[in-house]
Homo-oligomer: A and B are copies of this chain.
């Protein structure tokens, strides 16, 4: 730990809360809170370090700066879904409908489940900048995985390839659109809403009712 105790009188900058999180996790949590409440542009690295109960020098040990924090947060909104999507693509036992349903459900839980509306960071104008190409690449791979699962469904297989691509965009838009629905009604229980969104996604594909084993009333 970095609490040297030398800088008496600035306890918030020295003491980390007893959260059980590692220093980088603590920093990301602080950045998530400040970026989504005060805004990205208005947040300084110093404020992030203070909120995390760490010195600014410690922050720079783990992250190159504010942009690195944002990049890491953005990737954390898509990488777990991409990993799940790869597992689901390799799964030969369940129907494509059930696997697509599960990907949608899980993705909504990821986007809406955290304490902060991290998905909201997607729309920051800063995110368009090339420096976040790690995030954009993972997001594009995730969308490809959605497309592959969609094309493997009975209804998806019957679509022309441009129509299948269009429906992939619409399903992806629906899933990311829940960020806005969630922000308007953050008290709504996420699990049921995630299942309902997955049902809606299968309806967009034209595969409603075919996800039998998925656990949801699609």
Contacts and interface: CB of A to CB of B under 8 A. Distances in A.
A174 B180 contact: no
Contact of A196 (B125, B126, B170): B170
Interface stretch (A11-19, A61-69, A200-208): A200-208
A36 to B, nearest CB: 6
Interface residues of A, number: 39
A24 B37 CA distance: 30
A39 B181 contact: no
A132 interface: no
A99 interface: no
Interface stretch (A46-54, A84-92, A116-124, A144-152): A116-124
Contacts of A180: 122-123, 173, 176-177
Contact of A170 (B42, B128, B200): B200
Interface string A154-196: 0000000000001101101111111111010100000001001
Contacts of A166: 193, 196
A197 interface: yes
Contacts of A206: 203
A7 interface: no
A8 interface: no
A128 B38 CA distance: 11
A1 interface: no
Nearest to A119: B123
- Give 10 nearest A-B pairs by CB, closest first: A177-B177, A41-B41, A173-B177, A123-B123, A173-B181, A170-B200, A200-B204, A203-B203, A174-B174, A176-B180
14 contacts: A39-B125, A41-B41, A120-B125, A123-B123, A123-B180, A166-B196, A170-B196, A170-B197, A173-B197, A177-B177, A177-B180, A203-B203, A203-B204, A203-B206
Interface of A: 35-42, 120, 122-126, 128, 166-167, 169-170, 172-181, 183, 185, 193, 196-197, 200, 203-204, 206, 208
Given A170-B174, A177-B177, 17 more contacts: A36-B125, A37-B125, A39-B40, A39-B124, A39-B125, A120-B123, A123-B123, A123-B180, A166-B193, A169-B181, A170-B200, A173-B180, A173-B181, A173-B197, A175-B177, A176-B181, A200-B204
